[in-house]
Structure 1
Amino acid sequence: MALQNAFVSWFRNSSPYIHAHRNKTFVISFGGEAVLAADFDHHVHDFALLNSLGIRLVLVHGIRPHIDQRLNTLNHPVLFHNNLRITDTLALQCAKEAAGLVRVEIEALLSMGLANSPMAGYELKVASGNFVTAKPIGVIDGIDYCHTGEVRRVDSAAIHQQLEQNTIVVISPIGYSPSGEIFNLSGEQVATEVAIALKAEKLILLTEKSCSNPSSGEPIKQMTADEAHKLLQQYPDMAELIRLPIKAAIHGCQAGINRVHLIDRTQDGALLLELFTHDGIGTLISSTPFEELRTATLNDIGGILELIKPLEQQGILAKRSREKIEMEINDYIIIERDGLIIGCTALHANPHEQFGAIACLAVHADYQGAARGQRLFDYACLTAKKLKLQTLFVLSTQTTHWFIERGFVLSDVNNLPEPLKKLYNPQRNSKVLYKTVE
């Protein structure tokens, strides 16, 4: 029974993300190492699942290890400079062979009737093509990169045409010039430029290791693009396996992609956990803060009601109607985390009589213990100070000591200002506390 309840709870919690992701465009990048891995079919099943949920999917694969293997077989040197391949004529031939081989393998795995898989019997359409126009990198610091190129233009209209037909688009890190030349490209760069050109909702980079703080080893759950840039500056010796994806994420955010996800592809199901759970499992790099404290709007009423309902049922908060919250919505302060309201409070101010009341302080059970309640409280106090209020009141049944620890003093109902005294509910028998605004 516990297992059934856990499944039902998970499914209900994932439903907002299923709705939010439908008809959105995601660009997913993964290296050639992922293709060579024994569990690559698991990723393919997850790609197919995303497609079945209505997500418009573009897959950009890498081929670096395939080229290296082929060059080693031919006893030809593998040449790199600044972590960028020098693609001579033989290396280009190997790149073309590798791109064709990997693309065909991915298309085969995505084909109809994935037997004995979660997507058995589901028909998938896959397309690829010369969507990327490239130009040569040329000579940098005296090094001729030969046939190594960079993205010049992405045919976004042609890709969108395929996506509108519910087709998964597979793009190789190979580009073509108008004169017919072929160039070997960086998979991360191709994925980023494709996501920018498509104005994708998400760029997802499946990495070879998790993104962690180099000094503490602690996983990094989220960063803004500015914070990610500072991290690279602070740790210039960070491993290229994660440095390159972070640089790609920063570029993507700066070019208008709101959300870039770095996910360790070695963790089974990591893609689904990142996209369909509240906290995810990877690293989110965003153009704006992932968690935001702000004044509420009318669009937040549903989220506020959902947040406070359990606390009302427990008698911790007084019951509030939708109409009452709507009338007082400008008094509410919320913490929003990736579209989910996880905290709220209200400051009902009476500037004429120079007092205010803090009410409806609530934090979602899954997000308690990280000082979010304190953040809401501090913001309300700061607002009271800006409004030049002299006294703050609180009516509380079960959180009295929390407010006492923050400078409030117990008082009596008779000491309440008349407007608050009229609203006092004797049946709740709430404790009255007050504090001078400092």
Structure 2
Amino acid sequence: MSTNAPNPVPGDEESTSNFPFVGWLRDVAPYIHSFREKTFVIAFAGELVKEIGLENLIEDIAMLHAMGMRIVLVHGIRPQIEEQLKLRKIKSKFGTSALNTYRITDAAALECVKEAAGELRLDIEAAFSRGLPNTPMAGSRISVISGNFITAMPVGVVDGVDYVHTGLVRKVDSTSITLSLDSNKIVLLSPLGFSPTGQAFNLAYEDVAASTAAALKADKLIFLSPYGGLRDVDGELITELSLPQLQDYMTEHKDIESGLKGLLNISGKAVRSGVSRVHFLPCNQDGALLEELFTHDGIGMMLASSDIENLREANQDDVGGILQLTMPLEEEGILAARGQDVIERDIQRFSVIEHDRVLFGCAALFPFPNGVGELACLAVDADVQGSGDGERLLKRIEMRAKQENIKKLFVLTTRTEHWFLKRGFKRATVDDLPEERKQIYNWDRKSMVLTKDL
């Protein structure tokens, strides 16, 4: 097997067995290195404050900042606005357009919006100021910058409904935000914008976050929202989507709740504007942000453009490209030898990943009786190792395996045992292989056997 993993260090797994945090730190180190100096726009719904509180989220974001990540934090205030309206005995009013549902923000409602935004912003700034001993924020010195970074325009009158002080993002002062990030500040944005004439407008926090991420060409836009993720035909949570896949899904599923539909639409625009990845996480699960960023499988759904890469099933036209990937590795003894005839025969078992119509990786799935499958021929071009192609191919094979009702994967490898161990595989023996595979096991190669339950 050839992946984007380093060669294993003999005895490493055993040496950390009594100190789990050491293994964990080694597992997350590549992510920390990859994310350093990257720009993340993190947006959370006001419901998060009600569900799990601010404290842990702020500590997690402070940790990301300490690791060198450039953070723009955007907060929502919908339940907080409702509280203020109830206190003043004002009824909520909404209008629905073809694309979204907007609050009708008259003068009285605008005062409630300002009150809710100001109170929550102060709570967030206070949380970042905590530096008590024996807490995750101990010794932290974090400066938070807020300001009039967002220029807004009114929604106006739509279908005969005047939305008054409800607005849309017109422009983001990306220059000032970038200067603040360059100065090692966290930028905090509330869902309020201002017109050139000095009027204040109530904005959707999703609009603020997506527009800011697009203006900054952020590496990640992360939403912690109350909406459940998208499900496939089997009811399983979809973990990755390309823009074309998202468009197809939304065309086929007309019953997506309006709030989630609006979030997906605005996220699609952000990706088309240059945002590398959009992540959708539950706002009611403590630690979701860290789990998504620092574990292989993550916890939510990710949206990305398909222009950069294409992960698909192989066809006969790919045989030559697969041979170019596998032959050098076969010569080194990393992969078991497979001739052109064998690859042509088994081409329907392969998945490939291509960049600009050039193959950069491949993997194959071979089914065996009793719900067992073999992951084979996982290879990634040396020029792109470290880019995550190996992980994406692994996820693709796992998805195919589930579709074929395969419950357990096994892999034979001579050099990259620890790469698979870090991705959920466990050590096994030749005796654990299906009988058909055991009979053709190559004892001269002495490949290690690893298994993973799906």
Please confirm whether the aligned pair reaches a TM-score higher than 0.5, indicating the same fold: yes
Return the offset for 1:427.
7.1
How far apart are the structure 1 equivalents of 2:17 and 2:444?
A: 40
Tell me, in whole angstroms, the C-alpha distance in 2 between the residues paired with 1:342 and 1:115.
48
- Show the 5 A alignment for 1:83-102: 83-102=101-120
1:81–1:123 distance in 2 versus 1, CA, 3 Å: same
What is the aligned counterpart of 2:182 among 148, 164, 171? 164
* Closer, same or farther: CA 172–117 of 1 in aligned 2, 3 Å: same
Aligned equivalent of 2:30:
16
Residues 1:178 and 2:196 aligned together: yes
Gaps spanning 5+ residues in structure 1: where?
A: 319-332, 346-359, 373-397, 405-409, 411-425, 431-438
Structure 2 matches for 1:133-282, cutoff 5 A? Answer: 133-213=151-231, 216-282=234-300
**Deviation per residue, 1:101-156 (Å, 9 max, x gap):** 11111011011405543232111111100000011110000000000011111000
**Counterpart amino acid of 1:287?**
S
Q: Say if 1:53 and 1:342 are closer, same or farther in 2 by CA, change over 3 A.
A: farther
Moved more, 259-268 or 4-13: 4-13
CA contact (8 A) 2:42 2:71 kept: yes
Cα displacement string for residues 270-303 of structure 1 (whole angstroms, at most 9, x for unaligned residues)? 111111112211100001277736969x9x99xx
One-letter amino acid of the structure 1 residue matched with residue 223 of structure 2: L
**Does the aligned pair in 1 maintain the 2:52–2:284 contact within 8 Å?**
no
Does the 8 A contact of 2:174 with 2:212 survive in 1? yes
Work out whether residues 222 and 290 of structure 1, in 8 Å CA contact, stay in contact via their aligned partners in 2. no
| Secondary structure of 1:227's aligned partner | helix
- TM-score using structure 2 length: 0.67
Cα separation, partners in 2 of 1:90 and 1:6, compared to 1, 3 Å: same
SS in 1 for 2:218: coil
CA deviation after TM superposition for structure 1 residue 342, in Å: 8.0
CA gap 1:336/1:267 in 2 versus in 1, 3 angstroms: farther
Q: Distance in 2 between matches of 1:227 and 1:202?
A: 19
**Corresponding letter in the other structure for 1:173:** P
Q: Residue in 1 aligned with 2:39?
A: 25
Q: Quick one: distance in 1 between partners of 2:80 and 2:47? A: 8
| Percent identity over paired residues | 40
Corresponding residue number in structure 1 for 2:311: 292
**C-alpha displacement of 1:63:** 1.1
Q: Which amino acid aligns with 1:220?
A: I
What displacement does 1:230 show? 2.4
In structure 2, C-alpha distance between the alignment counterparts of 1:273 and 1:55, rounded to whole Å: 16
Report the 3-state secondary structure (helix = DSSP H, G, I; strand = E; otherwise coil) of the residue aligned with 1:175: strand
Q: What are the superposed Cα offsets for residues 372-420 of structure 1, whole Å, 9 maximum, x if unpaired?
A: 8xxxxxxxxxxxxxxxxxxxxxxxxx99967x9xxxxx9xxxxxxxxxx
AA of the residue aligned to 1:68:
E
Q: In the alignment, what sits opposite 1:57? A: 71
Distance 2:130 2:81 in 1: 29
Number of residue pairs the alignment of both structures matches: 349
How far did 1:249 drift?
Answer: 1.5
Aligned to 1:212, the other structure's residue is in SS state: coil
Q: Partner amino acid for 1:292?
A: L
* CA shift in 2, pair 1:317/1:229, >3 Å: same
Supply the distance in 1 between the matched residues of 2:50 and 2:218 (Cα, whole angstroms).
27
Give distance in 2, aligned partners of 1:254 and 1:161.
25
CA distance, structure 1, for counterparts of residue 232 and residue 91 of structure 2: 32
Structure 2 CA distance for partners of 1:427 and 1:77, relative to 1, 3 Å: closer
Q: Is the 8 A contact 2:232 2:238 kept in 1?
A: no
Within 2, Cα distance between the matches of 1:336 and 1:266?
37
Of structures 1 and 2, the larger Rg is shown by 1
Q: Distance in 2 between matches of 1:342 and 1:86?
A: 51
Q: Which whole-Å CA distance do the structure 2 matches of 1:124 and 1:183 have between them?
A: 29
- SS of the aligned residue for 2:193 comes to strand
The AA in structure 1 aligned to 2:88 is L
Q: What is the aligned partner in structure 2 of residue 118 from structure 1?
A: 136
2: CA distance between counterparts of 1:126 and 1:142?
41
Give, as a single letter, the amino acid of the residue that structure 1 aligns with 2:377.
Answer: L
Partner residue in 2 for 1:348: none
Amino acid at match of 2:311: E
Contact 1:214–1:235 under 8 Å retained in 2: no
Q: Residue 131 of structure 1 aligns to which amino acid in structure 2? A: F
- Give the Cα separation in 2 of the matches to 1:253 and 1:72: 37
How big is the shift at 1:243? 2.5
Unaligned 5+ segments in structure 2 are 1-13, 313-317, 338-350, 365-375, 380-389, 402-432, 448-454
Which fold has the larger relative contact order, with Cα–Cα distance below 8 Å and residues 6 or more apart in sequence?
2
The one of 39, 61, 74 equivalent to 2:88 is: 74
Contact 1:136 1:146 in 2 (8 A): yes
